[in-house]
Amino acid sequence: MSNKILVIAILLIGLGGLFAVKFNPPKPVELESGFLFPEAFELAPFELVDQQQKPFTNANLKEQWSLFIIGFTYCPDVCPTTLNKLAAAYPELKKIAPIQIVFLSVDPKRDTPEKLLTYVNFFNPEFKAVTGEQTQIFPLTRSLGLTYAMVGEGDNYQVDHSAGYVLVSPQGTRVAVFKPTAALGKAPQVLNDALISDFDRIVKSYKPK
């Protein structure tokens, strides 16, 4: 093979590699228990208060991952089940990357900071429990892609709410959602093994923009 032919062959191989990169992008991360959002989404500005009566704002999401769930302390099944499962998964999640669990109460009328302190401490004192005015809560839950609605009248009303978890990046952007699956006779829940595995995949593949 002449030198000229050899050079052309090398150039073609190189171009083939470029086309492979251009037309065959990296495969998206596949999750067992949910999915990644196509684009990182900035959360609406919010000003809440935590169980220690300290401000909790967008600034509290920086430099660590945050796993949000919404609910209320009078919740009869989904909330205590979810928090109990997250308490079990939390040590393994922390081994992967710094992370905080944030329980956002959408029932500020009954869930005072003092009530939230007692409630969340039962599961794990390191968890955050936050609430605020509905004018602050609603835009945040909408940014997270979670929903809730008050059901019933009087003091014994209930709150229908999403049972999924939403993962927020150390840059304060919405990254992924973990969807609960329903088993016969049991409340919908996200399986811990899948959650831990998925979080590990996300952290390893995440490239902030």
Average pLDDT over residues 54-76: 95
3-state secondary structure of 98: coil
Band of residue 159 on the pLDDT scale cut at 50, 70, 90: confident
Band of residue 77 on the pLDDT scale cut at 50, 70, 90: confident
Count the neighbouring beta carbons within 10 Å of the beta carbon of residue 1. 7
Q: What is this structure's pTM?
A: 0.83
Look at 17-26, 74-83, 91-100, 117-126 and tell me which has the smallest mean pLDDT. 17-26
Q: Which residue has the tokens 């902030």?
A: 208
Average pLDDT over residues 96-114: 96
Look at 17-26, 56-65, 100-109 and tell me which has the smallest mean pLDDT. 17-26
Q: Which residue has the tokens 């990182």?
A: 40
Q: What is the pLDDT of residues 37-50, one digit of tens each?
A: 888 889 999 999 99
Q: Which residue has the tokens 């998964």?
A: 89
Q: Where are the beta strands (DSSP E) in the chain?
A: 34-42, 47-50, 55-57, 65-71, 99-105, 128-131, 148-151, 158-161, 165-168, 173-178
Q: How far apart are CA 72 and CA 55, in angstroms?
A: 19
